[in-house]
Amino acid sequence: MILKDITLKNTISPTAKAGQDQETNVAFYLRRAFKDHPSVFVINDFKFTHNDETAQIDHLIVYPFGFVLVESKSITGEVKVNSFGEWARSFNGKWSGMASPIKQVELQQRLLREILFENSHKILTKVLGLQQYFGFRRWDNICVVSSNAIIERETMPKEVSQKLVKSEFLVEKLNKIMKLKNSIVRLLNFTDMRPDFSNSELVSITDFLMSQAQIQPKERIEKVLVAEEKIPNYSVSTAKVTSRLKCKRCGETSDYSALSGRYGYYIKCRKCETNTAMKMPCGHCQSTNAKVSKSGETYFLDCGDCESSERLL
């Protein structure tokens, strides 16, 4: 399903026009392949801001097992990549260096992971009382170049070559990455252990992303999903939470105030007036690479390793 089309601009320079034509061409292939697919969602020209950084993703694909970021590049001559991952292109017989589109899309992916990770408690549902998160999902990047480009693959690093395709081979590459099967086939295939998003979670994820781009989600998304599933909203649950927070001095587990200071968030015990940092090891994987975040009056512990999100208070 196409959630957002290409935003056409009035371009004057030949370079900008060629770039827009390539994005439009890629969007055409994506539309032809996935416009009627009930569980593949395409957001073209996706722009969002997070932590004072802005990313623009040419084509973002959300599917049951993860995400694919597609970077479009208008290259009509030859393209080479050396062993250091440095790119070069030819134009009218002259060679010049160019920024790596693979590195560019990796930066965009990092910011996308951050915004989804920090909002996982708003987007994903709970299963048996446990908050779901974005860990162990597929994250893939593809760079799509013009069909008339000449790709020098013999000297190109394998990891780069695997991510570089021409426009007409994009859908074939995506199908190999996503490996979509119907639910019956998946049940019979015991080797496919990929964690997947439920239908309602797919709607929640795409609605959240569209809201970041300040675009209203299309109502028709809900019509293609299972009617019995309840679509989650973005409100944070106010149900009573059993927290691991406690005073480091007297062990008090409830009579304290949540505050923030120079070194981050902490609790102040009302009984012995001791300050205790909220930061602690992850409750899922015990990693120390976890940080505390706040949403309204609710505090969360977000793990940077397993990408779980635990409500503290």
Would you state the pLDDT for residue 240?
A: 42
Q: How far apart are CA 39 and CA 64, in angstroms?
A: 7
Q: pTM for this structure? A: 0.69
Q: Averaging pLDDT over each range in 140-149, 184-193, 295-304, which range is the top one?
A: 140-149
pLDDT at residue 181 tops 60: yes
Query: Residue 298: which pLDDT band, with cuts at 50, 70 and 90?
Result: confident
pLDDT at position 302 is 78
Domain ranges of the chain: 2-223, 256-311
**Exposed e or buried b per residue across 106-129, where buried means at least 16 C-beta atoms within 10 angstroms of its C-beta:** eebbebbebbbbbbbbbbbeeeee
* Res. 127 pLDDT band, cuts 50 70 90: low
pLDDT score for 311? 77
Is the CB of residue 267 less than 8 Å from the CB of residue 276? yes
Q: Is the pLDDT of residue 230 over 60?
A: no
Distance between CA atoms of 213 and 215, rounded to whole angstroms? 5
For 10, which DSSP code? -
DSSP 148-159: T-EE--TTS-HH
**Residue 65 and residue 194 in contact, taking contact as beta carbons nearer than 8 Å:** yes
